Amino acid sequence: MAASRRPGGRHRARYGRYDGGPDPLAPPVDLAEALGHIGEDVMAGYSPERAMQEFLRRGGRDGRGLDELAREVARKRQELLAKHNLDGTLNEVRELLDKAVLAERGQLARDVDLDDGDRAFRELQLGNLPPSTAAAVSELASYDWQSAEARADYEKIKDLLGRELLDQRFKGMKQAMEGATEEDRAAINEMLGDLNELLEKNRAGTDTPEDFAEFMAKHGSFFPENPQNIDELMDALAQRSAAAQRMLNSMTPEQRRELMELSAQAFGSPELMEGLNRLDQNLQALRPGEDWGGSEQFGGEEGLGLGDGTGALQDLAELDALSEQLSQAYGGARMDDLDLDKLARQLGDAAAVDARTLQELERALRDSGYLKRTSDGQLRLSPKAMRQLGKALLKDVANRISGRQGERDLRQAGAAGERSGATREWAFGDTEPWDIPRTVLNAARRRAADGDGSGRLFELADVEVQETEARTQAAVALLVDTSFSMAMDGRWVPMKRTALALHQLVTSRFRGDHLQLIGFGRHAEVMEIEQLTALDSMWAKGTNLHHGLLLANRFFRKHPNAQPVLLIVTDGEPTSHLEPDGEVYFSYPPHPLTIAYSVRELDNAGRLGAQVTFFRLGEDPGLARFIDSMAKRVDGRVVAPELDDLGAAVVGSYLGSRGGRGSTAAAAESTFGGWFGGSRGFWVG
């Protein structure tokens, strides 16, 4: 906005498009979406750096990514080459020449005062012009035109060639010099002479800023780009001069020869061509890094003049530079390398907006603390990023829990806490085990009270359940299978998502609980959440449940006052165990000793009071039989969730284990009560 003063002292505001950088009113970039995609890729085995690059390539919901922008750049490049050819100036010269010859022949036929011999000689000269346009123009340079119209058309050829050659080096000159006078042409030649002297001083290292200022004060009207120093001037001139050379390289040998011969006719004097050749030599010496030797294959029907063709070659060079920038395939590539002005010029403002959004995303991801660089120079997801990802995953889990129609529980037993020895009447929603003696006794008493014993054998009013004492803290061990089959069968990422969601829930909502993550493959290992989510696929065979249970029981013993909760996610029977000397023993099919060691440690967990839930992945009958038998030994529970529902199943089981007398659904409602709106479970926090 700019303000100006009206007569009388009143102010008038004028509004225009904001061009001072990024739009200050634009909405902030959506880091949550970016982090979600990056987190998924990291858990799939990508490095954070590569995951970020992949997101930038794909783009977000509301903007194009690098790949789509690169495809548009390639498409425009192909369209330029397929639409145009480089015959434009030669064809225009040919048309003017044919028009001049036709007008001259007409004048010769009408001129009755012309000597017959002279007429015959002139007609013979016109009829035997060489087929080469350049040669014909050169041969007619000394012809005494009888037709004023023909002479004017021929002079247009010289004027056209001069303007086209200037337009090759100074964009816009073709139009600016249309109808130019001799004084205008003299000014051009003077400017070229002064420019070459300035460039030659720079080559010799003797130029000064005052030399540049003096040149611009005298000839600045020829340079609408308004360069601020000699380097900017040389850059602009060299880019266009190199494009002109590439256009010449792209022509056929016949086209080049014709053009070189015609150039001598520019403005009817060789002085212009001499100045331009001197300019090209200076620029090549000063800017050798420009592409002076390239060429392109044009194959279209629309002819381009020298100036327009040079502009097309400049466009192609810009498109090539944009293609390289968008590829981000070179060392040290950053989104800030993208030239937004070039992108807007070639693909439009919308493309520049999408690219700026990607730049801001990359900058925000690097500067906001979501990515951290380790001592070895590698990017890692920071704890802040892990919390953000965990929130998103927990949100998805909570929505799934709120909308579930039930789990595929295969067996459920046990209680939510230690049995107190007391019983009470059953109430709707109770999950505690029935007290069978008290229930049978209540039924017998009721039937006896009826007198004739004709009532129903059992009624719900007869049922009593065993009361339990809910513990205020839980020690939760999540054992996740990291064996070969988990990666091979597409269960790797769902497993990590589950661990991250549970970790987020415990650390944010149940800070008094203790959580340990244990991965068990050929051997078991206690892992931090960052280590687990970044874990590469484990291709070594082996499912060492025995070692995992050993670590879990050690964890439970460290927290004797907390309720032990054991959650085991697996897709295979145990195939390895630890020997007494600490070595890993592997056997497939499972060795009886491996099974025995695993059962022994599971029994130990049961004696510690652990509430055990197995999450069985896959439909292997042998695995189902094994897990069922294991769960029965400790009054445990088996859940066979779909992969997409694994996180909800594990989190739901954890909530149920610490929910006292309430059900899993009730515990979830209590836990997520502040995060849901209404019974449909919409996330509002």
pLDDT at 185: 86
Residue 349 identity: D
- pLDDT, one tens digit per residue, over 104-116 is 999 988 887 888 8
pLDDT at 413: 42
Considering only CA atoms, which of 26, 16, 17 is closest in space to residue 359? 26
Average pLDDT, consecutive stretches of 10 residues, N- to C-terminus, the chain (685 residues): 46 51 57 79 73 86 89 93 89 92 91 84 90 89 91 90 86 82 88 94 94 93 90 93 91 88 78 89 94 89 87 90 89 86 92 89 78 69 75 74 50 49 73 82 80 71 76 86 85 85 85 92 91 76 94 96 93 92 92 95 95 90 90 92 85 75 50 42 27
Residue 172's region, left for phi above 0, alpha for psi from -120 to 50, else beta, is left
Residue 67's region, left for phi above 0, alpha for psi from -120 to 50, else beta, is alpha
Domain borders along the chain are 27-84+320-373, 87-297, 391-408+472-683, 418-468
- pLDDT, one tens digit per residue, over 293-327 is 998 888 888 888 888 888 888 899 899 999 999 99
pLDDT at 26: 54
Helix (DSSP H) and strand (DSSP E) numbers for the chain = 26, 19
Task: Determine how many CB atoms are found less than 10 A away from the CB of residue 51.
Answer: 24
- pLDDT, one tens digit per residue, over 586-609 is 999 899 999 999 999 999 999 999
pLDDT at 490: 81
- pLDDT, one tens digit per residue, over 650-685 is 888 888 776 543 455 555 555 554 443 333 332 222
Q: Is the pTM of this model over 0.75?
A: no
CA–CA dist 483, 571 (Å, integer):
9
Distances (CA, A) of 329 to 46, 66, 324, 334, 346: 17, 12, 7, 10, 21
CA angle 381, 386, 391 (to 5 degrees): 150
Topology of domain 391-408+472-683, CATH: Rossmann fold (3.40.50)
Contact between residue 147 and residue 255 where contact means Cβ atoms under 8 Å apart: no
Distances (CA, A) of 647 to 42, 502, 535, 593, 640: 18, 8, 18, 32, 12
CA–CA dist 42, 35 (Å, integer):
10
Q: Two tokens at 135? A: 């040669």
